[in-house]
Structures are given as C-alpha cells and as structure tokens.
Chain A
Amino acid sequence: GQNIDQPTEMTATEGAIVQINCTYQTSGFNGLFWYQQHAGEAPTFLSYNVLDGLEEKGRFSSFLSRSKGYSYLLLKELQMKDSASYLCAVRGNDMRFGAGTRLTVKP
C-alpha cells in the first residue's frame, strides 16, 4: 500500500531549529517534495529531493534516504511566520501528500 507518515503537530521557539520527519511507502519513486501551507491558502513549494542526501536552500534544508523511505525538513532560525503546516509529498505513480505537520512557532 501507499503511506506517508509525518507527525501531526510540533511546537518550537522563535530562533530555534526544528526537524520535521516523514516516512513513506509508495509505488515507485520519482522524488520527494516539501510544501508549506498556511491556513486557508495553497501549498507553496519548499524543496525537492530525488537523490539521497541533503539539499540546502537558505533557512530550509531537506534530507532524503531512499533505502529507508525517510526524509526530513530542517528549518533554522525559526520566525513567527514559519507557523504553518508542512506537507511531505512523494512523486510515485502519482503525487501523494502526507497529512501535514502543523508547526507552531512561539516567541
């Protein structure tokens, strides 16, 4: 079956670092995406991994291990505006999204 798992909620402090994990089992694999979604808005693209390893993009980094079916999104120097849901999505035969991790950044 196809499954994408990520924690439901996380809380972190402004200025800190947070890691959001995602594990997946899908039919086929053509890349893993992380999206940010603020309440009532559309998802916006953050990062993409297709090969194992770390991709860095400013305050955001994403890691992939295909053999373990595992990825994480790392957010550094957290800001209040980073409070949002973070969606892990896997491109297999189609595009499947996880349920999202709601991150709350506190002062």
Chain B
Amino acid sequence: EPEVTQTPSHQVTQMGQEVILRCVPISNHLYFYWYRQILGQKVEFLVSFYNNEISEKSEIFDDQFSVERPDGSNFTLKIRSTKLEDSAMYFCASSEARDNEQFFGPGTRLTVL
C-alpha cells in the first residue's frame, strides 16, 4: 500500500541553524501539507501546496518557513533560523484532492538546542 515517507526521523539542531525536512508524498496525490505537533499538544496546520505553489498557510507559517517541491517526488519544509520553540514533531501529509482524506507520514521529530 502506498505511503508517505519522511526523512530524517529525528533531527537535532542548534538554535539559529537552518533545517530542511523532507517528504515523499504518495505518487498520484496532488495536494501536500505540513503540520506540526508540539509534544502533548494538538496537530497544527502549517501550509498546503498544490500545483507548485502555496494554496493555504496558517499564522504559524511566517517568513522563517518555506516549502518547495524540488523535483517530481520530494516535498520539503525549510526552517531558516530555528528557535527553541520550533521543537516539535513535523508531519507531512498528502491527498488526492483538496477535500479528500489526508494520509500522514511518520513524522520528523525536530529538537532545537
């Protein structure tokens, strides 16, 4: 069964450093998403991406964040200058259509020291 994959599973970085989180969505899906979940808190929407551009973004997705689809399979989230409060689990998800169910990847646990 096709699945969303994410790398790395765990990333440790120093405050102020840039990180890139990588995702491979399900191949026939057209909509891609990033979410974050701070430990013990709810899943929070960051951004959705369709047709090579951002379609929606939340108030959390400020100028330190960017997304890219560098090739036909990868979907990346870049955090330019990490802060302690960026420590969270970051989930990538994809769906066939905008309002269809989203399939989540296993997540990348980001720890900012």
Contact = CB atoms under 8 A, between A and B. Distances in A.
B42 A95 contact: no
Interface residues of A, number: 22
A30 interface: yes
A79 B48 CA distance: 35
Interface stretch (B13-21, B64-72, B80-88, B104-112): B104-112
B45 A94 contact: yes
A86 to B, nearest CB: 12
A100 B38 CA distance: 13
Interface in A24-72: 30-31, 33, 37, 41-45, 48, 50
A47 to B, nearest CB: 9
Interface centre among B33, B41, B45 (most CB of A within 10 A): B45
B91 A42 contact: yes
Contact of A97 (B42, B56, B99, B101): B42
Interface in B23-74: 33, 35, 41-45, 48, 56-58
B104 A43 contact: yes
Contacts of A45: 101-103
A20 to B, nearest CB: 15
Contacts of B58: 94
A89 to B, nearest CB: 8
A96 B42 CA distance: 10
17 contacts: A30-B99, A41-B106, A41-B107, A42-B91, A42-B106, A43-B43, A45-B102, A87-B43, A89-B43, A93-B56, A94-B48, A94-B56, A95-B33, A95-B48, A97-B44, A97-B45, A100-B42
Given A42-B104, A43-B104, A97-B43, 9 more contacts: A31-B99, A37-B43, A42-B106, A43-B91, A87-B42, A93-B56, A94-B56, A98-B42, A100-B43
Interface of A: 30-31, 33, 37, 41-45, 48, 50, 87, 89, 91, 93-100
